[in-house]
Chains A and B, each alone.
Chain A
Amino acid sequence: MGEPGTAGQKETPLFTLHQELGGKIVPFAGYALPVQYPAGIMAEHKQTREYAGLFDVSHMGQVKLEGADRVAALEALVPADLAGLAEGRQRYSFFTNDAGGILDDLMISNQGDWLFLVVNAACKDADIAHLKANLKGEVTLTELSDRALMALQGPKAAAVLARLAPGVETMRFMDCKPVEIDGTACIVSRSGYTGEDGYEISVPAEAADALARHLLSAEEVMPIGLGARDSLRLEAGLCLYGHDIDTTTTPVEADLTWAIQKRRREGGGFPGAAVVQEQLAEGAQRRRVGLLPEGRAPMREGTVLQNDQGEVVGKVTSGGFGPTVGGPVAMGYVDSGLAAEGTALQAVVRGKALPCKVAALPFVKHNYFRG
């Protein structure tokens, strides 16, 4: 039960603050980050669902794409309709490979004369190399490594942030625009990774500590670590790259076709489009689903799923305890014929076949502000 070493891990601009707040620091995607604070994962999770929580997500990659060909060039690498993305709006998307597999998932927003990309920490070097190698025409890529990123999530997030930056309360889910907070030029999006209303705030590194302290001074806000970030996103049915999606899963298998807009479904023009279009028409052989264990035992990642004949029909890709659900929750892939809600399956946990059911995602209703 020893602490994993954090030697050699990078620190975010909020590292000193995490230590001051008593954060339990662990290595994560090359960074030293708090897995939890003294309140603990359960309390931090509930805090975010009921009030508001502040997350340091500065380990994620922030990238700026400029140049006349930026939209067409990026559309050649992702299946999102970016030509149809209005200024000040954001879309969820993914880089695909030639087999239709997912290289990473990301957020893309239209900032007027540039595109703002936020990518996963563990993939950011590979993503940037992929972009540099494959963006065609007049496009300039800049990694915004001098910026921190924090997320303020929960039903009280809008009221708290509006006290510092009046007007943000009228932003709609997936709006993303420049906002001045405490005299600092930030980029604020109304989005997150918890299923709750809230914001993600890109802030210059040197201003991050002061802004975080200001947000934490609100009585509705507590700092939240990586542990609750994971349980919150799992209850919200949101994918974690490297677990629920990776190069072996297509967007159709992953049940992410909602993120491929009509023009791109029909027109293709992204890596692996032929595979994705065929699966859109014919269906995929397997599908990502929610799974609800009937007992109390959590079903962790890697747990094998069987049908009533004892044949292997899938496996769990994320699983644990859902504090808001009050019991174990999981998601994973099953043969498409068994993907209907309510289908009874068995999960093999420590050699025992335990009953579970295919369940609708999310496990906890999304609480987004759509205006």
Chain B
Amino acid sequence: MSEKRYTEDHEWVLIDGDSAVVGISDHAQEQLGDIVFVELPDVGKALEKGKEAAVVESVKAASEIYAPADGEVLEVNEALNDEPAKVNSDAEGDGWFFKMKLSDPSQVAALMDEAAYKDFVGD
């Protein structure tokens, strides 16, 4: 059974046991505008909670995406290399960034649920 959480940096984290899929929220893609490039981490890269894990670039600017927890990159969404606009069209689905193994699943359990995130962004 998977559950979805959100960070204050506007990432979503779909948690399934000791692994999680990470992307940016629909609110975030809307704020960024047209996404033209996503720099994904290398598979196997060690991630540290709060440190840069990926970079997303809109026409205007580059923004860093932070790791929501400590762990290791298991898989990346290669489709974004050719079609970065998937992040705009389906941020919380086909526009996922990477899948990671969680060193400590309790780190993500404390993140916001969908209702709390909606309050957070003022929707």
Q: Which residues of A are interface residues toward B (Cβ below 8 A)?
A: 1, 35-36, 40-42, 45, 227, 230-231, 296-298, 300, 320-321, 323, 328, 350
Q: Is the CB of B33 within 8 A of A227?
A: yes
Cβ distance A324 to chain B, nearest Cβ, rounded Å: 12
**Total residues of chain B contacting the partner, CB 8 A:** 19
Cβ distance A240 to chain B, nearest Cβ, rounded Å: 14
Complex alpha-carbon distance, A308 and B31, angstroms: 38
Complex alpha-carbon distance, A296 and B60, angstroms: 15
Q: Is the CB of B39 within 8 A of A350?
A: yes
Q: Is the CB of B81 within 8 A of A296?
A: yes
Give the top 7 A-B pairs by smallest Cβ distance, nearest first: A321-B36, A42-B34, A41-B59, A1-B31, A321-B59, A296-B37, A40-B34
Cβ distance A108 to chain B, nearest Cβ, rounded Å: 31
Interface centre among A36, A298, A328 (most CB of B within 10 A): A298
Q: B76 at interface (Cβ–Cβ under 8 A)? A: no
Complex alpha-carbon distance, A350 and B39, angstroms: 10
Q: Is the CB of A298 within 8 A of B33?
A: no
- Which of B28, B36, B37, B60 sits near A227, CB closer than 8 Å? B60
Name the residue on B nearest A3 (C-beta): B31
Complex alpha-carbon distance, A36 and B60, angstroms: 11
Contacts of B63 in A (CB 8 A): 1
From 35 to 84 in chain B, residues with beta carbon under 8 angstroms from any chain A beta carbon are 36-37, 39, 55, 57-63, 81, 84
Cβ distance B107 to chain A, nearest Cβ, rounded Å: 23
Name the residue on B nearest A43 (C-beta): B34
Q: Is the CB of A321 within 8 A of B57?
A: yes
Q: Is the CB of A40 within 8 A of B33?
A: yes
Q: Is the CB of B37 within 8 A of A328?
A: yes
Q: Is the CB of B37 within 8 A of A321?
A: yes
Complex alpha-carbon distance, A320 and B58, angstroms: 9
User: If A1-B10, A36-B33, A296-B37 touch, does A42 touch B59 (CB 8 Å cutoff)?
Assistant: yes
- Which of A40, A41, A296, A298 sits near B62, CB closer than 8 Å? A298
Q: Is the CB of B60 within 8 A of A35?
A: yes
Q: B112 at interface (Cβ–Cβ under 8 A)? A: no
Contacts of B81 in A (CB 8 A): 296
Contacts of B111 in A (CB 8 A): none
Name the residue on A nearest B32 (C-beta): A1
Contacts of B55 in A (CB 8 A): 350
Complex alpha-carbon distance, A328 and B58, angstroms: 11
Q: Is the CB of B28 within 8 A of A298?
A: no
Complex alpha-carbon distance, A230 and B62, angstroms: 16
Q: Is the CB of B59 within 8 A of A297?
A: no
Contacts of A296 in B (CB 8 A): 36-37, 81, 84
Q: Is the CB of A41 within 8 A of B57?
A: no
Contacts of A42 in B (CB 8 A): 33-34, 59
Q: Is the CB of B39 within 8 A of A41?
A: no
Contacts of B28 in A (CB 8 A): 1
Q: Is the CB of A231 within 8 A of B59?
A: yes
Complex alpha-carbon distance, A35 and B61, angstroms: 12
Contacts of B60 in A (CB 8 A): 35, 41, 227, 230, 320
Contacts A40-B34, A42-B59, A227-B33 supplied; 15 other A-B pairs, CB < 8 Å? A1-B10, A1-B28, A36-B33, A40-B33, A41-B34, A41-B60, A42-B33, A227-B60, A230-B60, A231-B59, A296-B37, A296-B81, A298-B36, A328-B37, A350-B39
